[in-house]
Chain A
């Protein structure tokens, strides 16, 4: 069955998708000698079961900090200033129990890691220990986070290797005997070994060449469908999102500026930043008139601009943009945007006049 058909079947299933994870007003800052770098500064997101969510944004926008922060992997000098990341583990077909990952004690968090949430970091292939055979590395991860017996664990490991398209002989090899693409597939196999509900992948194919990237992306997509898990894919490469994502979140300056299904994000972007991004992507075979890109430079997390953070670079800037941060509103079904150009939410009511910062 080809990938597109797979995507179709999944879309039919999302009608009754429940919430897998909710992020509320998350702020993750870094202490520096020059003050706090507000890398993630007020992020609200909801992830559903059984979807591929693409988190897009450019360097410095905070997406890696966010990805790691959700998993409780924020290390000094970073710290969680405020906010929640609530993960809902399903206990039956219709109900689930939510727990805030950020305030959990470390012992409990370890239970969630790998079993419920797996992480594929940037350069994951360098994470493999060079002196241990592949099978031991995967099996160790399985033993540590579950109570499977030896036979069960081995069987699971081979199953996962097969799912990522690797031959079982790979298990006995050492990492240096494998190519970059194969190593990356091993890390994916390890990540899915305990059937987590959520996988967070941070630029997993950046260092790989285009052909290998295609293979890995297709495999990831297929596995996500087969196992019914949620994949949060973090990358700045919009073309990859176009291939992979069901829904997308655009991140800028530590905040989410737009969330929408992938087709709408590309065909009808609402936020001027998203529009700028989309129009910066050269397309093969497309019109070759000069593209504009987005003028100016990304601001520094030590000194975010006042009001809407995009206002210094925005082609549609208005006076209010310099003073007030726009709230994130649902302006169409499933379409959220934080921009003063869209002040009316779907529900019709004007947003409550809360204290908007700065």
Chain B
């Protein structure tokens, strides 16, 4: 997992928080930190796929939008090639735009229903000057569609409702391929398409990494998908990264209570290995957290100690490259963070 100060990082998230005001009765202002002091970095070489695991309410989509430059962070910085995204000059901004691209969750919602599907490709080709003539553009489109296993004649000229979810999502991949970005930020890219088709999509992302050196941030709630992609993983809970490391480490030695709970709660596709014990989770509302005052999981944690309600736990190093933000490990070394 990349150390945030790594110089080969293309896109770096440094201590980013996104705070929203929550309307409350009375005059007190409550706020919620949808993203709460998150740091991570995506490297260029070698290309890697980083999984960000979080459930709804964890802040993952907000983080994705911040990383894409669609919304500014309230605190902290997003650095593209070392420069703050808000400080980029025009050329640098275009470079950022081109090299950090998204894949969104809803395969149909991503297309303006008024237009045909390939308009998404046309728009990209035009704005980034990828072709100098209509013919060249058509050739480029067809090539990128074929590269993701779609037949151009099945797609070009069609409207979104005429294609399946899997096809729509793959057109998105084709679009991404046109630009060959350094980073793809994929926010739940497979959760709305059929299981049988998910593999094709995931394999394409893996191909992108191996063949085109494209790194991806794979945001998902499904640990099994993250496992399939392999590589570094971060676990996001209520806006905070509670555990991070290589996925093998996390599966082998899940250290934070939330990670442990997640692993236990996921149904396993093996009828001979069913859940054995009853879940004992207290279902609570998302806590309104104020940065820095307590551990975000304290209300649900089976190991809660007094200190957990007093301070926010720092990252402790469980083993090389594997960190957990939990006071259970306070005798281990703290992760060195750069400010």
A contacting B, Cβ–Cβ less than 8 Å: yes
Residue positions of A touching B, CB distance < 8 A: 2-4, 7, 58-59, 179, 181-182, 209-215, 217-218, 236-243, 245, 262-263, 265-267, 276-278, 280-286, 288, 290-295, 297-298
Contacts of A239 in B (CB 8 A): 224, 266-269
Contact across chains for A212 and B283 when beta carbons are under 8 A apart: yes
A302: shortest Cβ distance to chain B, in Å?
A: 12
The answer to whether the Cβ of B274 comes within 8 Å of any Cβ in the partner chain is yes
Contacts A/B (CB < 8 Å), 30 sampled: A2-B276, A2-B278, A59-B194, A181-B283, A182-B283, A209-B57, A209-B221, A210-B55, A211-B261, A211-B279, A212-B281, A214-B267, A214-B281, A218-B278, A236-B195, A241-B271, A242-B270, A242-B271, A277-B195, A280-B198, A282-B227, A283-B224, A283-B227, A283-B270, A284-B224, A284-B263, A284-B266, A290-B206, A297-B197, A298-B194
Q: How many whole Å from B170's CB to the nearest CB in chain A?
A: 10
The answer to whether the Cβ of B277 comes within 8 Å of any Cβ in the partner chain is: yes
B91 at the interface (CB under 8 A from A): no
* Contact (Cβ within 8 A) A284 B195: no
Chain A residue numbers with a CB within 8 Å of B197 are: 293-294, 297
**Are the CB atoms of B206 and A280 closer together than 8 Å?**
no
In chain A, what residue has the closest Cβ to B195?
A280
Q: Is the CB of B265 within 8 A of A211?
A: yes
Asked if B199 lies at the interface with its beta carbon under 8 angstroms from chain A, I say: yes
> Are the C-beta atoms of B55 and A285 separated by less than 8 Å?
no
In the assembled complex, B310 has its CB within 8 A of some CB on chain A: no
Residues from chain B with a CB closer than 8 A to the CB of A278 are: 269
In the complex the two chains form, is A179's CB within 8 Å of B285's CB?
A: yes
The answer to whether B195 touches A238, judged by C-beta atoms less than 8 angstroms apart, is: yes
**One of A4, A209, A240 near B56 (C-beta < 8 A):** A209
Known contacts A214-B279, A266-B269, A294-B197: does B166 contact A282 (CB below 8 Å)? no
Cα of A298 to Cα of B195 in the assembled complex, Å: 12
Decide yes or no whether B303 CB sits under 8 A from chain A. Answer: no
Enumerate chain B residues within 8 angstroms of A245, measured Cβ to Cβ: 271
B200: nearest residue on chain A (CB-CB)?
A: A293
- Residue of A with least CB distance to B277: A2
Residues of B within 8 A of A240 (CB): 267
Task: List chain A residues, Cβ under 8 A from B56.
Answer: 209
CB distance from A135 to the nearest CB of B (A): 20
Q: Kindly identify which residue among B165, B265, B269 contacts A213, using a CB–CB cutoff of 8 Å.
A: B265
Assuming the contacts A2-B276, A238-B195, A294-B196, asked whether A283 and B269 have C-beta atoms less than 8 A apart, the reply is yes
**What is the minimal beta-carbon distance from B275 to any residue of chain A, in angstroms?**
6
By a beta-carbon cutoff of 8 Å, the part of chain B in contact with chain A is 55-57, 164-167, 194-200, 203, 206, 221, 223-225, 227-228, 230, 251, 261-272, 274-279, 281, 283, 285
A263 near B275: Cβ-Cβ < 8 Å: no
Which residues does chain A contribute within 8 Å of B195, judged by CB atoms?
58, 236-238, 277, 280-281, 293
Nearest opposing residue in chain A for B206, CB measure: A290
* A327-B199 Cα distance, complex, nearest whole Å: 30
- Cα separation A242 to B271 with both chains bound (whole Å): 4
A266 to B267, CA, bound (A): 14
- Contacts A217-B267, A242-B268 known; 4 new A-B pairs at CB < 8 A: A3-B278, A239-B266, A282-B224, A293-B198
Contacts of B281 in A (CB 8 A): 211-212, 214-215
> How many angstroms between the C-alpha atoms of A208 and B160 in the bound complex?
28
Interchain CA distance A288-B196 in the complex, whole Å: 17
- In the complex the two chains form, what is the Cα distance from A294 to B196 in whole Å? 5
Interchain CA distance A4-B283 in the complex, whole Å: 23
Q: Are B167 and A297 in contact (CB under 8 A)?
A: yes
In the complex, are the beta carbons of A288 and B266 less than 8 A apart? no
Q: Is the CB of B266 within 8 A of A280?
A: no
Given contacts A3-B274, A295-B200, contact A210 B265 (CB under 8 A): yes
On whether the beta carbons of A243 and B228 are closer than 8 Å, the reply is: no
Chain A residues whose CB sits within 8 angstroms of the CB of B164 once the complex forms = 297-298
Contact between chains at B196 and A293 (CB < 8 Å):
yes
User: A284 and B251: CB pair below 8 A?
Assistant: yes
A238 to B222, CA, bound (A): 13
Q: Decide if B199 touches A280 in the complex (CB within 8 Å).
A: yes
User: Cβ of B268 and Cβ of A179 under 8 Å apart?
Assistant: no
Q: Give the residue name and chain of the B residue nearest to A273 (CB).
A: B196
Measured between beta carbons, the chain B residues less than 8 angstroms from A280 are 195-196, 198-199
Please name the residue on chain A nearest to B162 by beta carbon: A300
A10 to chain B, nearest CB (A): 13
Contacts of A277 in B (CB 8 A): 195-196
Partner of B221 from A7, A181, A210, A214 at Cβ < 8 Å: A210
A282-B228, A297-B166 known; A242 vs B269 contact (CB < 8 Å): yes
CA distance A212 to B281 in the complex (A): 8
A291 interface neighbour in B228, B264, B270, Cβ under 8 Å:
B228
A215 to B275, CA, bound (A): 11
Residues of B within 8 A of A267 (CB): 272
Separation of A282 and B276 alpha carbons in the complex (Å) = 21
Residues of chain B contacted by A288 (CB below 8 angstroms): 227-228, 230
A299→B169 CA distance, assembly (Å): 17
| Closest chain A residue, CB of each to CB of B272 | A263
The residue on A at minimum CB distance from B227 is A284
Are A59 and B223 in contact (CB-based, < 8 A)? no
* B262 and A210 form a contact (CB under 8 A): yes
Residue of B267, B269, B270, B278 contacting most chain A CB atoms (<10 Å): B269
Residue numbers in A under 8 Å from B265 (CB-CB): 210-211, 213-214
> B203, B225, B278 — which one has the most chain A CB atoms within 10 A of its CB?
B278
Contact between chains at B267 and A243 (CB < 8 Å): yes
- Across-interface contacts of A236 in B (CB, < 8 A): 194-195
Q: Which residues of B contact A213 (CB under 8 A)?
A: 265, 267
CB pair A58 B279 closer than 8 Å: no
Q: From B278, which residue of chain A is reached at the shortest CB distance?
A: A218
- The answer to whether residues A284 and B267 also contact, given A214-B279, A293-B197, A297-B164 and a CB cut-off of 8 A, is no
A-B interface, 9 closest residue pairs, ranked by CB to CB distance from nearest? A293-B199, A294-B196, A282-B228, A239-B267, A58-B194, A214-B265, A239-B269, A282-B224, A209-B55
